[in-house]
Amino acid sequence: MSEKLLQIPFLPEVNSKTPIPAISQLLNTVPKYAVGFAPWSQFPEKPKVQFGIAHNGYAVLLKYEVQEAETLARYKQPNEPVYRDSAVEFFIAFDQNGYYNLEFNSLGTCLGGYGKERINRQDQAPALLKTIQYFTQKEDSVDGQSAWSLTLLIPVSIFRFDPITSLNGKKCRVNFYKCGDDLQKPQYLAWSNIDWPTPNFHLPQFFGDAEFMY
């Protein structure tokens, strides 16, 4: 079991009219956390990845910042296999009944599902996934590395299998990932470390604890 504990700050200044580029700027002011574990020795590639997370009661506000040797971005339709591109991922569980996987490439394309384990997951409807607002930026290269950021506003309606009307004070279990199955050097990174023999992010026993502060 993970001993990670993440306190997710409340940003009351973000409302339904706040443009997402402004949210991206606000997320520069919250603590940053490294997606720094490379759990599988056969995949040692370790790009620099960090995220900042907050909420405003009705949406998760999340920003990833990535520096990597190669960025792959091909998939443009919801629920396409973005994990084969350069992808960042957010998994969250509010109880023991199941967890949500939300996976994004650097274009903001989302694959989303819900279930108890890696198999037999329920896809989220493309129309619902399109309610996630996103803002992508290609950053200046650093030491020859490709650099990009992705800001997300994930409304609580995405969590449709849980009766959530407000995130205020809500406790959950989470993990954050970076992957890229089809990169020249595949990579699999996690915020909360995973003790498993082969690459698998769908292991909620290794999620970390989190609380939406208010």
Over the chain, what HEC string results?
A: CCCCEEEECECCCCCCCCCHHHHHHHHCCCCCEECCECCCCCCCCCCEEEEEEEECCCEEEEEEEEEECCCCCCCCCCCCCHHHCCEEEEEEECCCCCEEEEEEECCCCEEEEEECCCCCCEECCHHHHCCCEEEEEEEEEECCEEEEEEEEEEEHHHCCCCCCCCCCCCEEEEEEEEECCCCCCCCEEECCCCCCCCCCCCCHHHCEEEEECC
- What confidence score (pLDDT) does residue 143 get? 78
pTM for this entry: 0.96
Pick the CATH number of 5-13+37-212 from 2.60.40.1190, 3.50.20.10, 3.40.50.10490, 1.20.1250.20: 2.60.40.1190
The confidence score (pLDDT) of residue 3 equals 61
- Annotated domain spans of the chain: 5-13+37-212
pLDDT score of 182: 98
Query: Over the chain (214 residues), what is each successive 10-residue block's mean pLDDT?
Result: 80 95 98 98 97 98 97 98 98 97 98 97 98 92 87 98 95 98 97 97 98 97
